[in-house]
């Protein structure tokens, strides 16, 4: 995997599709529009074709319903997974709660051919609503970005930056496990610098040890 430095700049996408028009979908749509990006939203029951044709497509549906996503329309597309496994919403789903596999890898395996990047998931709706700020603002928070292609991570980083947060490159899609629930990063409202420190500390955290044991990486 090649490296995408946090300060490598590319332009933010011009169009964003959002699948899911609930709490997260609505606030992400507002932030993108505020950034001057054309937004195409599709909720369940809508024709998702226009949303899936956007430069970047954000997934903001309950994770337990990922198999209802229009996989054929997302083939070859840059897709941002903003979803989390939340048992209260999704029910008991051992397939989404296996520490050997990040949930974004599970989504990527279903969306065969899509370029999946994980982002926006570890912020609460409140944080997204209230803590988006322009570059350089002292209260600007960080958001982690994980994906297997450095170029795709740069595009999503530019989107995160335009929408009011400092992107932090977290590496591969498998590394997305470091900011899923339940981790220290999830819901932490951290700055970019604090986020980098938490990512570095992850292997020593409680969840990090669970993941390492499950993956046979424990020393
Ligand atoms: N809430 C948070 O603080 C937060 C923060 C970050 C990330 N997330 C994650 O973001 C995702 C959405 O959370 P939410 O709180 O926004 O949920 P929500 O308010 O329940 O909204 C989900 C929306 O997705 C729609 N939907 C379901 N299947 C769909 C499909 N195949 N295509 C298009 N739309 C579909 C639902 O429509 P119907 O109601 O008609 O089924 C609903 O409007 C979850 O995975 C969650 O874990 C949540």
User: What pTM was computed for the model?
Assistant: 0.96
Residue 117 near residue 158, CB atoms below 8 Å? no
**Which H or E element spans position 38?**
strand 38-42
> Six-digit token pair at 10?
């590319």
For residue 164, report the distance from its CA to the centre of ligand 1, in Å.
Answer: 21
Cis peptide before 182 (omega within 30 of 0): yes
Domain locations in the chain?
5-214
How many helices (H) and strands (E) the chain has is answered by 9, 7
- Which residue has its alpha carbon closest to ligand 1 atom 5? 124
**C-beta atoms surrounding 187 within 10 Å:** 15
Atom of ligand 1 nearest to the CA of 85: 47
For residue 195, report the distance from its CA to the centre of ligand 1, in Å.
Answer: 25
Atom of ligand 1 nearest to the CA of 128: 5
φ/ψ bin of 150: left (φ > 0), alpha (ψ from -120 to 50), beta (otherwise): alpha
**Which H or E element spans position 56?**
strand 56-59
For residue 87, report the distance from its CA to the centre of ligand 1, in Å.
Answer: 13
pLDDT in tens, the chain (219 residues): 445 555 567 999 999 999 999 999 999 999 999 999 999 999 999 999 999 999 999 999 999 999 999 999 999 999 999 999 999 999 999 999 999 999 999 999 999 999 999 999 999 999 999 999 999 999 999 999 999 999 999 999 999 999 999 999 999 999 999 999 999 999 999 999 999 999 999 999 999 999 999 999 865
For residue 84, report the distance from its CA to the centre of ligand 1, in Å.
Answer: 10
Atom of ligand 1 nearest to the CA of 23: 16
Q: Which fold has domain 5-214?
A: Rossmann fold (3.40.50)
User: First and final CA of the chain: distance in angstroms?
Assistant: 24
> Six-digit token pair at 49?
């074709």
The single residue listed with the structure tokens 């209230």 is: 130
């Amino acid at each position: 995997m090649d490296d995408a430095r946090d300060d490598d700049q590319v332009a933010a996408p011009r169009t964003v599709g959002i699948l899911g028009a609930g709490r997260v979908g609505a606030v992400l749509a507002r932030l993108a529009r505020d950034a001057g990006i054309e937004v195409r939203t599709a909720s369940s029951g809508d024709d998702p074709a226009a949303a899936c044709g956007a430069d970047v497509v954000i997934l903001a549906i309950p994770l337990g319903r990922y198999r209802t996503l229009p996989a054929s329309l997302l083939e070859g597309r840059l897709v941002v997974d903003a979803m989390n496994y939340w048992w209260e919403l999704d029910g008991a789903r051992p397939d989404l709660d296996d520490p050997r596999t990040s949930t974004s890898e599970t989504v990527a395996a279903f969306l065969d051919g899509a370029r999946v990047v994980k982002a926006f998931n570890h912020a609460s709706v409140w944080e997204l609503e209230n803590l988006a700020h322009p570059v350089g603002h002292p209260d600007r928070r960080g958001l982690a970005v994980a994906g297997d292609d450095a170029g795709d991570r740069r595009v999503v980083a530019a989107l995160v930056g335009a929408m009011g947060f400092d992107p932090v490159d977290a590496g591969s899609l498998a590394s997305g496990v470091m900011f899923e629930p339940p981790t220290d990063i999830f819901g932490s409202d951290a700055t970019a610098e604090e986020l980098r420190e938490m990512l570095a500390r992850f292997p020593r955290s409680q969840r990090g040890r669970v993941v390492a044991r499950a993956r046979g990486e424990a020393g």
